[in-house]
Structure 1
Amino acid sequence: MDNTEAALLSDIENVKNIPIVSTMLEVICKSTGMGFAAIARVTEDRWIACSVRDEISFGLVPGGELKIETTICNEIRDNRQAVIIDHVQISEIFADHHTPKMYGFQSYISIPIILRNGDFFGTLCAIDPKPALLNNAKTVGMFNLFAELIAFHLETLQVAEQSKTALNEMNHKLVDSVIENRQFKYISNHNLQEPLRKMRVFSSMLVQAGEAGDVEKIKFLAGKIDDCARKFSELVKELSEFSELYSDTDFELVDLRKLVAEVCGELSKELDEKNVRVQINELPVINASFSQMKQLFYSLITNSFQHSKRDGQHEITIGSKEITQKNTPQLPVQNDAELIEIMIQDNGAGFSKQQLEKIFDIFPNLINEELEKSDGSGLVYCRKIVRNHGGSIAAESEPGQGTAFSIILPIRARS
């Protein structure tokens, strides 16, 4: 099977997996009196039925095909305009058209399904051997709404499949991390599924609102669906960014003191607004990924001032000291490796014991009652970066007493 055929089969399967498709086709047939309704995947050389409601024994089933040149959808793909025929026999344009003559219908409506990226997917169409009153605002509006919903769900399913692939890739790369594997499984089963579940609920309600012609409710529910889609997109983006933090990257000599000063310079506006003072003490030059080290300190400093107290100056102190391997037997480095411990301490609001246990989780949704809401998700990147360098990271904190992060790294992580 070539890639094109596999892609088409995937498109058909995705339409089948849209939970409200059968309801849509049923509503179309009942509200218009049409006997046949379908969602078709239309390419330059293929017309394939993805989902069908057939009450007139037209004879087409999901997966069935029509010759593309015999369909009006072939023309719709080219001009991306809807075609609506109340009565073929009296139509100036379609009375002598080959398609209605071949398939024996008198009424016809077909709306293009356009994905948000501009790609043409196919059509939502309906036919009947009898004339029908189709060219009116209510019917056209319903078809347009359903076509947009189909496009929206197709995009959502595509993103879900991409995120599933990304999760599988990450799981293969993180087989040595029980905690992260547990988190990815939870994300796949819960975090990503929850906005999808809500979208299915709101979409079902949207169909009912469309059937009832309740325009205000349609607008309200469309907004809810858009919110869920945005949340889903944010989750997938964050997972994608995390998946890129693999350990196979270029290492070089990195002066951590200069790097931290550079990070503080980039954050100067936020530090001034939050009344934050950063004290940078002695830091070593280590063999590391410059970009990952920069992200590490950027996330740690940002996390610190996000959890500052409301009153007074927020102080962050960053320093280091050399340690011996025998004090850190858990690290996956050689016994004679030179190690450095980097400390990042602040006088902020701190975390409770329950929050501290989840501080390095993905999407921990940490909320301190005395602070603005902060998801704290940047810290999971910190743990991944430190592990990429053969090190470890830990945190100690008490509510109201600030937080201290300890990062242990080999000075020569890689040659």
Structure 2
Amino acid sequence: MDNRSPIDRDIALISRSDAVPTILEVVARTTGMRFTAVARVTDTQWTACAVYDRIEFGLKPGGELVLESTICNEIRGHHQPVLFGSASEHALFSNHPTPKLYGFESYISIPIFLSDESFFGTLCAIDPAPAKLDDPELLKTLQLFTQLIAAQYETEQRRDAAELALVDAQSTARLRDQFVAVLGHDLRNPVQSISMGADMLERDLPDGRERRVAKHIQRSCQRMSELINNVMDFARGRLGEGISVSLERSHDLAGDLEHVVSEIQRVHPDRKIEVTMSLDRTFRCDRRRIAQLLGNLLSNAITHGSDKAPVRVFMTSTESAFELAVENAGKPIEGDKIERFFQPFTRGTSASPRPGLGLGLYIAAEIAKAHGGTLQAASDASATRFAFHMPLDCDETSQPGLTSVGA
């Protein structure tokens, strides 16, 4: 927020321009007049914004003159330039009080207009000595200088507005992301309580309508947990913390990933999930995050894939890489839209009434990045496939093979 007065802002904008001091010096050298200035003239104030002073007039940027004592105030009314080389010999200004008050003989004041044709102020020059100002090209030159000053002022004004807007936007975004993070954290406990209650009801109730309702609550809680986790990870990333990972040896990673598949299968018993797994070595990773990546990819496939074909999961590890892929049948994604799926709040086309927040693939891509890997997408008429590839260091140790194929 800018708490400066309008006049102070105008002085700052003019003083920020590197061209204005040069213009004032060129005007002084061109006319032979030793005091030049850019003045902001309003209906209440005359204020110097920039000054070139070789006569020790004593006026500095921010300095004021009594508005009614200036010829610039008259120019504010009639919008015409005023130039004279000798006040004492001028038919009108020989009796004008202003030259006598300020002790000048030669005088220039050219109005400055902004692009919206509003009056900003004047380009002024004074000198106690007479000056030769009868060159017809001089007025044109000075008017060009006023146009350049106006353009410089408006350029700085636009930059100032853009910087203020950026600061406001950053502040708003940070507050929003903090709110989202706090909200997500506060939602976790009640969702977990509801989920635990639904689990107890499903175990204790006989088959029937009530048990189906309990299963529906479980599915809703699982979906809500996914949304909360994704929102909190997104908020952390936006707040500069990034996706955090805790790397350790991947003992029983296969069990973690199988658990993710079984949980999603339990929530979606009508969908078939086929798993091909071949993990024959351990490696450093964050098992919880890899499981979250798989969960996000599976949820995306369940939501957007065809329910007439199975969702297929492939997990393999070799000496050089760990790979995890999820593919589903369905309408192919156009090539120019695929990369956008890794941006936050991007949703795919789905007949599902609850397509989600559009954060799942973004979070999955961030998890892949945090592991030094990549998440890529490909789609054609046969399937849409999201594949996570993570290079492994050469010092990874092998373990007995874990190979399974099943649903």
Give the TM-score taking structure 2 as reference length. Answer: 0.48
Give the TM-score taking structure 1 as reference length. Answer: 0.47
